[in-house]
Amino acid sequence: MRLLEDKIREHGNILSDKVLKVDSFLNHQVDTELALQIGQQFYRIFRHQPITKVLTIEASGIQFAMATAMAFNVPFVYAKKKKAVTLQESVYTAAVHSFTKQETYQVCVSQAYLGPEDRVLIVDDFLATGAALIGLVDIVKEAGAALVGVGCVIEKCFQEGRELLEQKGVDVHSLAKISSMAPGSIQFVPGDDEIMLGKESDDDAK
Protein backbone atom coordinates (compact mmCIF):
# COMPACT_ATOMS: atom_id res chain seq x y z
CA MET A 1 0.00 0.00 0.00
CA ARG A 2 1.95 2.91 -1.39
CA LEU A 3 0.39 5.60 0.81
CA LEU A 4 1.32 3.63 3.91
CA GLU A 5 4.90 2.98 2.78
CA ASP A 6 5.34 6.69 2.02
CA LYS A 7 4.04 7.57 5.46
CA ILE A 8 6.42 5.07 7.10
CA ARG A 9 9.36 6.47 5.15
CA GLU A 10 8.46 10.03 6.05
CA HIS A 11 7.24 9.70 9.63
CA GLY A 12 8.46 6.33 10.88
CA ASN A 13 11.28 6.36 13.38
CA ILE A 14 13.70 3.47 12.99
CA LEU A 15 15.37 2.91 16.34
CA SER A 16 17.32 -0.21 15.35
CA ASP A 17 17.28 -2.99 12.77
CA LYS A 18 14.29 -4.46 14.61
CA VAL A 19 12.40 -1.56 16.20
CA LEU A 20 10.27 0.79 14.11
CA LYS A 21 8.20 3.45 15.84
CA VAL A 22 5.08 4.57 14.01
CA ASP A 23 3.39 6.21 16.93
CA SER A 24 3.04 9.60 15.26
CA PHE A 25 0.39 8.22 12.86
CA LEU A 26 -0.55 4.61 13.62
CA ASN A 27 -0.47 3.55 17.26
CA HIS A 28 -0.36 6.44 19.71
CA GLN A 29 -1.40 9.43 17.66
CA VAL A 30 -3.61 8.07 14.87
CA ASP A 31 -4.09 9.52 11.39
CA THR A 32 -7.81 8.79 11.19
CA GLU A 33 -8.00 9.08 7.40
CA LEU A 34 -5.08 6.66 6.94
CA ALA A 35 -6.68 4.19 9.35
CA LEU A 36 -9.87 4.30 7.29
CA GLN A 37 -7.93 3.66 4.08
CA ILE A 38 -6.21 0.72 5.74
CA GLY A 39 -9.61 -0.72 6.60
CA GLN A 40 -10.76 -0.26 3.01
CA GLN A 41 -7.64 -1.98 1.73
CA PHE A 42 -8.31 -5.01 3.94
CA TYR A 43 -11.84 -4.97 2.57
CA ARG A 44 -10.54 -5.08 -1.02
CA ILE A 45 -8.25 -7.99 -0.19
CA PHE A 46 -10.77 -10.12 1.70
CA ARG A 47 -14.07 -8.96 0.24
CA HIS A 48 -14.69 -12.11 -1.80
CA GLN A 49 -15.29 -14.08 1.35
CA PRO A 50 -18.21 -13.62 3.71
CA ILE A 51 -17.00 -12.25 7.03
CA THR A 52 -19.15 -11.99 10.14
CA LYS A 53 -16.62 -10.53 12.57
CA VAL A 54 -13.31 -8.76 12.71
CA LEU A 55 -11.05 -9.77 15.61
CA THR A 56 -8.08 -7.89 17.01
CA ILE A 57 -6.22 -7.41 20.29
CA GLU A 58 -6.15 -4.35 22.50
CA ALA A 59 -4.97 -1.70 22.24
CA SER A 60 -3.22 -0.81 18.99
CA GLY A 61 -5.26 -3.11 16.77
CA ILE A 62 -8.55 -1.43 17.65
CA GLN A 63 -8.43 1.47 15.19
CA PHE A 64 -7.70 -0.89 12.28
CA ALA A 65 -10.31 -3.42 13.39
CA MET A 66 -12.84 -0.61 13.55
CA ALA A 67 -11.96 0.71 10.09
CA THR A 68 -12.08 -2.83 8.65
CA ALA A 69 -15.35 -3.67 10.41
CA MET A 70 -16.83 -0.44 9.01
CA ALA A 71 -15.85 -1.49 5.49
CA PHE A 72 -17.42 -4.94 5.94
CA ASN A 73 -20.37 -3.58 7.94
CA VAL A 74 -19.86 -6.12 10.73
CA PRO A 75 -19.03 -5.83 14.45
CA PHE A 76 -15.51 -6.24 15.72
CA VAL A 77 -14.19 -7.87 18.86
CA TYR A 78 -10.96 -6.96 20.63
CA ALA A 79 -9.27 -9.55 22.76
CA LYS A 80 -8.34 -8.32 26.22
CA LYS A 81 -4.92 -8.78 27.69
CA LYS A 82 -5.95 -10.08 31.06
CA LYS A 83 -9.05 -11.14 32.84
CA ALA A 84 -10.82 -8.04 34.15
CA VAL A 85 -13.15 -7.98 37.12
CA THR A 86 -16.16 -7.31 34.89
CA LEU A 87 -15.29 -10.12 32.44
CA GLN A 88 -16.84 -12.89 34.44
CA GLU A 89 -18.39 -15.31 32.04
CA SER A 90 -16.54 -18.04 30.18
CA VAL A 91 -13.70 -16.89 27.99
CA TYR A 92 -11.42 -18.35 25.37
CA THR A 93 -7.81 -17.74 26.34
CA ALA A 94 -4.33 -18.05 24.88
CA ALA A 95 -0.93 -17.25 26.37
CA VAL A 96 1.13 -14.68 24.46
CA HIS A 97 4.73 -13.68 25.03
CA SER A 98 5.52 -10.05 24.22
CA PHE A 99 9.13 -9.63 23.11
CA THR A 100 8.76 -5.85 23.22
CA LYS A 101 7.67 -5.83 26.84
CA GLN A 102 9.41 -9.06 27.85
CA GLU A 103 6.38 -10.50 29.56
CA THR A 104 3.82 -13.24 29.03
CA TYR A 105 0.17 -12.34 29.30
CA GLN A 106 -3.19 -13.99 28.68
CA VAL A 107 -5.39 -12.82 25.85
CA CYS A 108 -9.05 -13.57 26.27
CA VAL A 109 -12.28 -13.28 24.35
CA SER A 110 -15.70 -13.86 25.86
CA GLN A 111 -17.27 -17.03 24.53
CA ALA A 112 -20.43 -15.03 23.93
CA TYR A 113 -18.84 -13.15 21.03
CA LEU A 114 -17.21 -15.86 18.93
CA GLY A 115 -18.78 -19.16 17.94
CA PRO A 116 -19.01 -21.84 15.25
CA GLU A 117 -21.31 -19.62 13.14
CA ASP A 118 -18.61 -16.95 12.75
CA ARG A 119 -16.29 -16.30 9.83
CA VAL A 120 -13.46 -14.25 11.26
CA LEU A 121 -10.91 -11.85 9.82
CA ILE A 122 -8.08 -11.07 12.25
CA VAL A 123 -6.33 -7.70 11.91
CA ASP A 124 -3.47 -6.13 13.83
CA ASP A 125 -0.95 -3.33 13.49
CA PHE A 126 2.27 -5.39 13.36
CA LEU A 127 3.32 -8.86 12.25
CA ALA A 128 6.79 -9.63 13.64
CA THR A 129 7.22 -12.67 15.87
CA GLY A 130 3.56 -13.49 15.29
CA ALA A 131 3.02 -14.23 18.98
CA ALA A 132 -0.13 -12.16 19.48
CA LEU A 133 -1.61 -13.23 16.15
CA ILE A 134 -1.03 -16.91 16.84
CA GLY A 135 -2.85 -16.41 20.13
CA LEU A 136 -5.80 -14.97 18.23
CA VAL A 137 -5.71 -17.78 15.67
CA ASP A 138 -5.82 -20.30 18.52
CA ILE A 139 -8.81 -18.49 20.02
CA VAL A 140 -10.69 -18.60 16.70
CA LYS A 141 -9.99 -22.33 16.50
CA GLU A 142 -11.06 -22.85 20.11
CA ALA A 143 -14.34 -21.06 19.31
CA GLY A 144 -14.96 -23.42 16.40
CA ALA A 145 -15.21 -20.41 14.08
CA ALA A 146 -13.83 -20.27 10.54
CA LEU A 147 -10.70 -18.17 10.10
CA VAL A 148 -10.82 -16.29 6.80
CA GLY A 149 -7.37 -14.77 7.14
CA VAL A 150 -5.04 -12.36 8.89
CA GLY A 151 -4.48 -8.77 7.79
CA CYS A 152 -1.52 -6.85 9.18
CA VAL A 153 -0.73 -3.22 8.65
CA ILE A 154 3.06 -3.59 8.83
CA GLU A 155 5.05 -6.81 8.48
CA LYS A 156 8.66 -7.24 9.46
CA CYS A 157 9.51 -9.91 6.91
CA PHE A 158 12.84 -10.65 8.56
CA GLN A 159 11.08 -12.08 11.60
CA GLU A 160 9.35 -15.42 11.81
CA GLY A 161 5.69 -14.40 12.23
CA ARG A 162 4.46 -15.10 8.69
CA GLU A 163 6.14 -18.50 8.55
CA LEU A 164 4.57 -19.56 11.83
CA LEU A 165 1.12 -18.45 10.68
CA GLU A 166 1.43 -20.07 7.26
CA GLN A 167 2.49 -23.32 8.91
CA LYS A 168 -0.95 -23.24 10.51
CA GLY A 169 -2.53 -22.80 7.08
CA VAL A 170 -3.43 -19.14 7.65
CA ASP A 171 -3.86 -16.75 4.69
CA VAL A 172 -1.73 -13.71 5.63
CA HIS A 173 -1.81 -10.29 3.93
CA SER A 174 0.24 -7.27 5.00
CA LEU A 175 -0.04 -3.76 3.62
CA ALA A 176 3.60 -2.72 4.11
CA LYS A 177 6.23 -5.47 4.12
CA ILE A 178 9.61 -4.42 5.44
CA SER A 179 12.44 -6.56 4.11
CA SER A 180 15.14 -4.78 6.08
CA MET A 181 15.72 -1.60 8.01
CA ALA A 182 18.31 0.33 9.96
CA PRO A 183 18.37 3.87 11.32
CA GLY A 184 18.06 6.11 8.25
CA SER A 185 17.09 3.39 5.76
CA ILE A 186 14.18 1.08 5.12
CA GLN A 187 13.38 -1.36 2.32
CA PHE A 188 9.98 -2.72 1.42
CA VAL A 189 9.07 -5.89 -0.42
CA PRO A 190 7.09 -4.84 -3.52
CA GLY A 191 3.43 -5.08 -2.52
CA ASP A 192 1.80 -7.97 -4.34
CA ASP A 193 -1.54 -7.01 -2.88
CA GLU A 194 -1.27 -3.62 -4.50
CA ILE A 195 -0.20 -5.01 -7.85
CA MET A 196 -3.01 -7.53 -7.72
CA LEU A 197 -5.54 -4.90 -6.76
CA GLY A 198 -4.31 -2.01 -8.84
CA LYS A 199 -6.34 -2.87 -11.92
CA GLU A 200 -9.62 -2.95 -10.10
CA SER A 201 -9.01 -0.19 -7.62
CA ASP A 202 -11.31 2.30 -9.36
CA ASP A 203 -14.51 0.34 -9.45
CA ASP A 204 -13.85 -1.31 -6.12
CA ALA A 205 -12.95 1.79 -4.18
CA LYS A 206 -15.51 2.20 -1.43
| Binding residues vs its own copies (CB under 8 A) | 15, 19, 21, 23-25, 28-33, 35-36, 53, 58-59, 62-63, 66-67, 69-70, 73-78, 80, 84-88, 100-102, 109-110, 112-113
| 206 has binding-site annotation | no
User: Which letter does DSSP use for residue 153 in this model?
Assistant: E
CB nearer its own copies, residue 65 or residue 172: 65
100 is in an annotated binding site: no
| Conformation bin of residue 139: beta by default, left when phi > 0, alpha when psi is -120 to 50 | alpha
Is 130 among the annotated ligand-binding positions? yes
The response to whether 176 counts as a known ligand-binding position is no
Classify 188 in phi/psi space as left (phi over 0), alpha (psi -120 to 50) or beta. Answer: beta
Long-range contacts of 195-202 (CB under 8 A, 24+ apart): 197/41, 197/44, 197/45, 200/44, 201/44
100 vs 180, which CB is nearer to its own copies?
Answer: 100
Pick 98 or 167: Cβ nearer its own copies: 98
Nearer to its own copies, 10 or 202 (CB): 10
List CB contacts of 203: < 8 A, sequence separation 6 or more. Answer: none
Q: Which is nearer to its own copies, 29 or 187 (CB)?
A: 29
- Minimum distance, C-beta of residue 45 to its own copies, in the bound complex (Å): 19
**Spatial distance between the Cα atoms of 168 and 190, rounded to a whole number of angstroms:** 24
Annotated binding residue at 93? no
Q: What Å distances lie between residue 123 and 40, 132, 184, CA to CA?
A: 12, 11, 28
* 20 annotated as ligand-binding: yes
To its own copies, the closest distance from the beta carbon of 178 in angstroms equals 15
Distance of CA 185 to the CA centre of its chain: 24
Binding residues for 5-phospho-alpha-D-ribose 1-diphosphate: 128-132
Binding residues: 20, 27, 128-132, 156
